[in-house]
Amino acid sequence: MNGSHIKDDSIDTTHGCILYLEQITVSFDGFKALNDLNLYIDDGELRCIIGPNGAGKTTMMDVITGKTRPDHGTVFFGQNHDLTKMTEYEISHAGIGRKFQKPTVFLNHTIFENLELALHTQKDVWQSLTQSLTLEQREIIEEVMETIGLKEQKNLRSGLLSHGQKQWLEIGMLLVQDPRLLLIDEPVAGMTHQETEHTAELLKSLAGKHSIVVVEHEMDFIRSIANRVTVLHEGHVLADGKMEDVQNDPKVIEVYLGS
């Protein structure tokens, strides 16, 4: 593992795709969490991924972010980054940000510090020891705090935030990271109706500038944001297409929507 993955910032998307998952298989003790999965995400797209529990959604995120290595198959970010050969932090540097299913923020840090830590910048030891925030960077953080509605709570310990606010903070941390591809696992779990609407608007406004993959259960939410939906079932793609088409697909109704 050398630094070349980090230095090469450009992501080759000349073929229109930003993420290529091809023939991915991951098994845990014989159980195939992902089974010959093929998935392509277009540059700038907002894609929703649904599927019953155990369909392999979170495992897929783990494979993309380097947490889990596939037994089989290739994962490419653009055409030039082989994600299966990169570590978590290298993948993050290449431009993939991830929001976990359970909101994961730094509970003992303030809102501002959480964002400061996530901010896109040099992240080696020496820089962290000697550099302080530039005015410009402060402005970026202030801006994002405004977007996620936590400006008032700037100096509050994030452990004191409500569940919904933590979700927002985590999304904010992704924003300051300024990734090309955002992976978002259940962003509206535990949110009120209003917060959910707000989140939908935010995600829609981010599409285009970023490519976004959202894993969600909440159907109304998906209907409000998605153009294209992919249904996972038992580790592979069951159906793929527009929300209306997918909803009317008998296979999908059988395994998921019908229940």
Residues that bind other proteins (CB under 8 A): 65, 67, 87-89, 92-93, 97-98, 100, 104-109, 113, 116-118, 120, 123-125, 128-132, 173, 177
Judged by beta carbon, residue 87 or residue 248, the one nearer other proteins is 87
Question: In the bound complex, what is the minimum distance in angstroms from residue 2's beta carbon to other proteins?
Answer: 12
Judged by beta carbon, residue 65 or residue 247, the one nearer other proteins is 65
Q: How far apart are the first and last CA of the chain?
A: 46
Judged by beta carbon, residue 169 or residue 222, the one nearer other proteins is 169
Question: In the bound complex, what is the minimum distance in angstroms from residue 1's beta carbon to other proteins?
Answer: 10
Question: In the bound complex, what is the minimum distance in angstroms from residue 92's beta carbon to other proteins?
Answer: 4
List strand residue ranges (DSSP E) for 56-103, in order: 72-77, 81-82, 96-99
Amino acid at residue number 211: S
Judged by beta carbon, residue 163 or residue 228, the one nearer other proteins is 163
Instruction: Give the integer Cα–Cα distance in Å for 129 and 1.
Output: 24
**Are 42 and 212 within 8 A, CB to CB?**
no
Judged by beta carbon, residue 57 or residue 98, the one nearer other proteins is 98
Where on the phi/psi map is residue 161: left (φ > 0), alpha (ψ -120 to 50), or beta?
Answer: beta
| Pick from 150, 141, 142, 156: nearest CA to 168 | 150
Residue 116: how many CB atoms within 10 A of its CB?
18
| Pick from 41, 34, 48, 45: nearest CA to 246 | 48
Question: In the bound complex, what is the minimum distance in angstroms from residue 170's beta carbon to other proteins?
Answer: 8
Question: In the bound complex, what is the minimum distance in angstroms from residue 177's beta carbon to other proteins?
Answer: 6
